Structure 1
Amino acid sequence: MTCDITLFVNPTAGRGRGAHAARPAARVLREAGFHVRTVLGEDAEDALRRARAAVAAGTGALVAVGGDGMVSLALRAVAGTLTPLGVIAVGTGNDFARATGLPVRAPEAAARLVARELKGDGGRPVDLGRVGETYFGTVLASGFDSRVNDRGNRMRFPTGRLRYDAALIAELAALRPIPYRVRFDDGPEQRIEATLVAVGNSSSYGGGMRICAGARPDDGLFDITVVGPCRRSTLLRVFPKVYRGTHLSHPAVTTHRAARVTLEAEDVTGYADGEPLGPLPLTAETVPGAVRLLGAR
């Protein structure tokens, strides 16, 4: 174990919580005997480049301070390497941290856990999903939810949460089933109509929506949730159940498990960890033990 570790910080995460959390986290890690350097980026691309440079230079651990977006960049930097990942989860959603049993919005507790794991067994391996060269830790979304994101990203007004709400209402008005072509592992291509298809390496996205409630990031398989064609009224009734994971028993919902899934549909963008991957078709595959996570349960 090297005593040099890197804090990978998003200062704007959680409306500024990232910047505030970095200081107590760094203090705890220094008090534990580690030499801590901090990496910031001018934008996501620059931040990822700097994180990868720290990993290539032999940092003893990369510790992401922020929300799911920052964690996603960190996962891409360490996936397939021997560098362990720590997470100081202080963002808005923190879905990856919750799924792996890490402290949320408790930077000192999270930093103590990182320090203890680095001095102990160095964490445990967890799975990631991969599309091309891009890794993800939570959920690949496609269909209704990704179209809401598309519309929200195009809108300039309103701002904040109201933008998402306005995009959701607009997409509800335009709700139509989407013709998909889907293949699980080496099975036959299936033609289905669906409202959305979500591919879960872990259980939730969007700040606690447990769309793939049974997914575990340590079993080498995705949990795939397919919401079939449904009316607006049905979707609105089922939507609140997503936070408890009880939507999976609804007749419109089917679930599958696979290590690889291919999705094809016209005019649908795939999003993973909340970030756009590009238009379908996309093939996602599990990468067992792709990252060594500090403190995961």
Structure 2
Amino acid sequence: MSRLRVGLLSNPTAALGSAHRVGRQIGDLLRLAGISVVDLSGPSAHVARARAVEVRDTLTALVVVGGDGTVALGAEIVAGSPVRLGIVPAGTGNDMARALGLPLNDPEESTRILLHALSRPVVAIDAIEIISRGEQSLPHRSIALGNVNLGFDALVNARANGSKRGSRTRYAAAVVRELASFAPLPYWIEVDGGERIDLDASLLTLCNSGYFGGGMRIGPDSRLDDGSLELISVEGLGRADLVRFFPRVYRGTHTSLPVFHSRPVREVTVGLRHGRDLRAYSDGEARSLLPITARVLPGAVRLLADLPEAVTV
């Protein structure tokens, strides 16, 4: 029996319950390969996190089976530790898997990748730390891997999470529904410790992977291992313009538009000057109400994957 010990955490509700079935397959395949596997799945993310944290120091790796929210939970558990994060996509969006080039709906190939990576040098990717800054709330810290959605994309994410449609269909339907009452939002932002500036934008996203919405590549220049994030804003677009903008994101032709702006950053604090409350979303999950601070954590997550373009440590 191998001395390698792998924790397995699957989301029992992801993809209408199929992630739990995939998790059992992955566990069986790893055991057949001689890996010691401990199942840390639970009825809720809170229970699963507690189980994983309790045994984290005994693990070689933590393998998560589910969607982007489950991947973010795994990243939060292992960030800053020597425990490596393995990802088996089994959710609806699977945007982190797309960014990493991981196979979808293929437990055997996913297991092969995990086993191969266990014998390879460590691959480190960046994470995003999100801290609430609201005067009415206690400070709260969470970890994301993909992106932090702060504008129209966050509102769409909230609406899409309540839909039972497929990943791309439900996101597209949520875009149409949210457009009916949307107007550009009045932000204030502070970038890398600089002075506060005002910004009116329709879309404001902080990218690490650049993918969201079940395959939309909003930040095609984003890299998971470059030690920085990409702050993307879309300014000066009305409702009708946004309808035409989102299809271009799927095709990757949106970056040539004059309303699209992108800049590398390490830390951003964002709030609203007035108007509605807005909750940030990241990796498909609800986070704190604005204002928040988000900053890059370079190389914080050791990934269980063989990525030739990633930084090895």
TM-score under structure 2 normalisation?
0.87
Q: Does 1:235 align with 2:242?
A: yes
Q: Does 1:271 align with 2:281?
A: yes
Q: Given that residues 199 and 212 in structure 1 are in contact (C-alpha distance below 8 angstroms), is that contact kept between their aligned partners in structure 2?
A: no
CA deviation string 1:163-191 (max 9, x = no partner): 76665334212121111111221333221
Q: Does 1:120 align with 2:120?
A: yes
Q: Does 1:61 align with 2:61?
A: yes
Map of 2:153 onto structure 1: 145
Task: Give the residue type in structure 2 aligned to 1:112.
Answer: R
Q: Given that residues 10 and 66 in structure 1 are in contact (C-alpha distance below 8 angstroms), is that contact kept between their aligned partners in structure 2?
A: yes
Task: Give the residue type in structure 1 aligned to 2:249.
Answer: V
CA distance in 2, matches of 1:231, 1:43: 40
Map of 1:135 onto structure 2: 143
Q: Given that residues 2 and 59 in structure 1 are in contact (C-alpha distance below 8 angstroms), is that contact kept between their aligned partners in structure 2?
A: no
Q: Does 1:250 align with 2:250?
A: no
Q: Given that residues 91 and 105 in structure 1 are in contact (C-alpha distance below 8 angstroms), is that contact kept between their aligned partners in structure 2?
A: no
Map of 2:30 onto structure 1: 29
CA distance in 2, matches of 1:159, 1:9: 20
CA distance in 2, matches of 1:139, 1:245: 17
Map of 2:87 onto structure 1: 87
1:239 Cα deviation from its structure 2 partner: 0.7
Task: Give the residue type in structure 2 aligned to 1:291.
Answer: V
CA deviation string 1:82-135 (max 9, x = no partner): 1111111121111112212222221111111111221332x3011001113211
1:66 Cα deviation from its structure 2 partner: 1.1
Describe how 1:1-297 pairs up with structure 2 within 5 A.
Answer: 2-56=3-57, 58-121=58-121, 123-132=122-131, 133-151=141-159, 159-160=164-165, 167-265=174-272, 266=274, 267-297=277-307
Task: Give the residue type in structure 2 aligned to 1:95.
Answer: D
Return 282-291 or 239-248, whichever deviates more.
239-248
Distance 1:100 1:224, change over 3 A: same
Q: Given that residues 12 and 43 in structure 2 are in contact (C-alpha distance below 8 angstroms), is that contact kept between their aligned partners in structure 1?
A: no
CA RMSD of aligned residues (A): 2.0
Secondary structure at the residue paired with 2:232? strand
Secondary structure at the residue paired with 1:216? coil
Q: Given that residues 113 and 306 in structure 2 are in contact (C-alpha distance below 8 angstroms), is that contact kept between their aligned partners in structure 1?
A: no
Q: Given that residues 90 and 107 in structure 1 are in contact (C-alpha distance below 8 angstroms), is that contact kept between their aligned partners in structure 2?
A: no
Long gaps (5+) in structure 2: 132-140, 308-313
CA distance in 2, matches of 1:2, 1:249: 52
Secondary structure at the residue paired with 1:248? helix
* Aligned pairs, number: 292
1:42 Cα deviation from its structure 2 partner: 1.4
1:247 Cα deviation from its structure 2 partner: 1.1
Q: Given that residues 29 and 112 in structure 1 are in contact (C-alpha distance below 8 angstroms), is that contact kept between their aligned partners in structure 2?
A: no
